Amino acid sequence: MLLKAYSSSISASLTQAFTDFWDNILEKSPSIFIGLLFLALFTLLGFGLRSLVKKRLDKGTHDPLLISFIGRVVMATMIAFGSALFLNQLGLGTAASGILAGAGVSAIILGFAFKDIGENFIAGFFLAFSRGFSIGDVIEVAGIKGKVNSINLRTTHLRTFDGRDVFMPNALLVKNPLSNYTRDGLLRYDFVIGLDYATNISDAIKLIMKTLDAEKRIEHQDDLKPFALLEQFSTSRINLRISYWVNSYDFLGPIAFLQTDVMNNVILALTEAGFNLPQASMN
């Protein structure tokens, strides 16, 4: 009997709780509807303003990173306003203010917890208006090298050459030295080749330069001409350093293939001319 009475009491309590909850929903349904309407309107307004801002900025600037970033900020701002109005319609605006006003310690804890988020967000603003790279540039920061795909409110999306998608916190790009490999499109490549001590170095360098001059995919301007220099006398060979420039804007294929072709052509030219290349002579 006691168990049955206890079960009936629990059932009645649950029924009453559900009834009270449903009555509360019905009572606040106009406010919920208005709040959802505000949220939907501000979301649509955000989409519209983002599109308008992008069109206006596209006429005055050709920086897709800046246009995309400002569009995201406008969209996020509109959604934030809509969310605030939605909560206010539910009567949570005053409650939230009271909680924040009375929770000084919690606010400090949250401030430390979200310090990095705020830092990256502010860094995103700096990067949007002043940075050393654009979409499509190859950059390296903190030991990570890749092509810039996009900049977001908190992170910058890099695509590395081994296929990884790296979302780098914006603060890292502001705090650390940044190397841009494609800002002017010009990249210098080097490799070292070792020759036997009996080699006539002058003849070897002339042959290497002739081979490089025949390669049309590398730069041959006065200040960007390829060159070969005597670098080091090692225990078993004489090391020559060969350097050449490539314009990555003009070269459409993977530059790694060009590097392979250049080194292979130099080796073939030297070996066919009778020059002796000791083992492990390429670096």
Q: What is the pLDDT of residues 32-53, one digit of tens each?
A: 777 778 788 888 888 888 788 7
- Of 241, 136, 132, which Cα lies nearest the Cα of 189? 241
pLDDT at 55 over 70: yes
Cα–Cα distance between 113 and 107 in angstroms, integer?
10
Q: Which residue has the higher pLDDT, 61 or 226?
A: 226
Amino acid present at 133: F
Q: What is the mean pLDDT of residues 175-195?
A: 88
Please report the pLDDT score of residue 238 as a whole number: 92
Stretch 126-149: mean pLDDT: 83
Cα-Cα-Cα-Cα dihedral sign, residues 75, 77, 83, 89: negative
Which residues, 6 or more positions from 205, have their beta carbon under 8 angstroms from its beta carbon? 228, 230, 240
pLDDT at 60: 58
User: Any idea what DSSP says for residue 197?
Assistant: T
Q: Residue 25's pLDDT is what?
A: 63
In degrees and rounded to multiples of 5, residue 46 shows phi and psi of: -60, -45
Q: Taking the domains of the chain in order of start, what are their residue ranges?
A: 15-113, 132-180, 186-272
Bridge partners for 40 per DSSP: none
Residue 262 CB neighbour total at 10 angstroms: 21
Q: What is the mean pLDDT of residues 171-194?
A: 88
Nearest to 193 by CA among 221, 228, 167, 160: 228
pLDDT in the model for residue 192: 93
Residue 20: predicted pLDDT: 62
Q: Report pLDDT for 12.
A: 61
User: Which tokens belong to 104?
Assistant: 């000084």
Q: What is the pLDDT of residue 220?
A: 92
Pick the CATH number of 186-272 from 3.40.50.300, 3.20.80.10, 3.30.70.20, 3.30.70.100: 3.30.70.100
Residues 6+ apart with CB under 8 A from 167: 152, 155, 156, 157, 158
**Poorest-confidence range of 2-6, 198-202, 204-208, 252-256?**
2-6
Question: What value does the mean pLDDT take over residues 224-240?
Answer: 91
Which pLDDT score, from 0 to 100, does residue 208 have? 96
- Residue 251, token pair as written in the block: 């070269």
pLDDT of residue 45: 84
The Cα 186–Cα 264 span in angstroms is: 22
Contact 127, 173 (CB under 8 A): yes
What value does the mean pLDDT of the chain take? 78
Return the CATH class of domain 132-180.
Answer: mainly beta
Distance CA 4, CA 7 (A): 5
pLDDT band at 66 (very low <50, low <70, confident <90, very high): low
